[in-house]
Structure 1
Amino acid sequence: MWFKSMIILWIKIFINTPMIKKSHKNHIKTLTKTRHILRFGEYGFKIMSSVTFTKEQIESLNRNLLKKLKIVSINSKNYKFWTLLKTNKTLTKLSLESRMGKGKGSIYTEAVFLQAGSIIYEFMNLKNHQILELFAFFKKQIPRTEIRLINQNK
């Protein structure tokens, strides 16, 4: 009897937990060949060096950028904003007391590895001075990373 309940409990846990694979280390140094042009908006932020963002950093960037976007465009509500950051790798960590061997470790967060030249945010229906103010704010959010503002018209 208890065996059946354990199997049912195990099936419920197994179905509700997502299967995420552990990934290898990734060091990308070449330029991107797919995400280097604007697709949705008029303006965009382009990363000019390869960088890694964790899921928590992406959420913080999105939250802060959306707050600043609401402050900058206080009179107009018809702006559009696209986030092109999706996590594609998992990061693992072993406990501090573990010895060598014993496997890779458990997954503790997800991350995205970006190549140099990839666009991370796109904007539409913003004026030039608004996008410049937003870009100055965004540069302060990510220090030690070269970022460029690109325009569809140029």
Structure 2
Amino acid sequence: MIHFKKKHHFKFKKKLDFSKHILKFGSFGFKIKKAVCINYKQKTFIKFFILKIVKKIINNKIKIFFYSKCNYNQTKLPLESSMGKGKGEISNSFGYYKAGFLFFEIKNISLNNVLQLKNFLNKKKIANFFLIY
């Protein structure tokens, strides 16, 4: 009897010792609560929003380490095309992040300011973050 392996669309490790779960450079990290697809526009919006909030809250210099990448491409065919005309042109790029993925880290910041930043980010509802340190 031949057994075939089941193919999955996204190949991720299911263990918690996955390398994207551990703090490496910063003192505080933001993890994602639920699995989510974030496109390139949302990712850049999160980056600029973080930098804007950090400038308002803090006067001294801090370091931010981002780990998110948009690895997958979304394609779209024109409306008039019939079947069998290929895959279509790339319309958007996105990244799939599973629950517990370390989205970014922050260094040289106090706990009170980090909690304030977390509340601002969770109000935007792009992704729900929780704090690790």
Identify whether the pair has TM-score above 0.5, normalized to the shorter chain: yes
- Give the letter aligned to residue 69 of structure 2: K
CA 62–125 in structure 1, closer or farther in 2 if over 3 Å, else same: same
- Structure 2 stretches of 5 or more lacking a match? 1-7
- Structure 1 stretches of 5 or more lacking a match? 1-24
Which one has the bigger helix percentage? 1
Q: Say what the alpha-carbon RMSD is for the aligned residues.
A: 2.0
1:99 and 2:87 matched: no
Distance in 2 (CA, whole Å) between partners of 1:78 and 1:146 is: 26
Q: How many residues align?
A: 124
- Give the one of 33, 46, 51 matched to 1:48: 33
1:8 aligned partner:
none
- Give the one of 121, 126, 130 matched to 1:138: 121
Calculate the TM-score normalised by the size of structure 2: 0.82
- Give the one of 45, 60, 82 matched to 1:60: 45
Report the alpha carbon displacement of residue 107 of structure 1 after superposing the two structures with TM.
Answer: 0.7
% same residue: 32
2:103 aligned partner:
120
1:88 and 2:71 matched: yes
SS of the residue 1:44 aligns to = strand
Partners of 1:54 and 1:111 within 8 A in 2? yes
Partners of 1:26 and 1:113 within 8 A in 2? no
